[in-house]
Structure 1
């Protein structure tokens, strides 16, 4: 990289990669790949009543939010709607 540190990096949700990036490139912004996150939704929601509806709405929230502010607002509304505010 010619002695320059990347401003940002996208990886899957590998904890080892996240720790290595934090240690080696502390000023680099690390993001998890949205594809990997969205692929896990069906398996994470199967225990919820109406999981198909939740999955579809979650997909709309993620893909139709064009700013951090709009995502945060819509996401908070989504969590409230489905009673997921305290769900880790």
Structure 2
């Protein structure tokens, strides 16, 4: 139980530092991301090429959902 409290605190810290909303946080958790990895991926001022964490999560989630959909479609076609 203590580990759950610690994990919840880490997720709350990541939500605050990365400026994530509940929806984006759910996406990150669904993909199995670690709250510390989210904090590490906050772009510094010298990293202007790097997307904000919320955008990064949304893009990665969309890519994974697209791949899963394509895999499902291929599986359905091969089953016919």
Please indicate, yes or no, whether the TM-score normalized by the shorter chain is above 0.5: no
- Please identify which structure carries the higher strand content: 1
- Which gives a bigger RCO, structure 1 or 2 (Cα 8 Å, sep 6+)? 2
With the length of structure 2 as denominator, give the TM-score of the two structures: 0.29
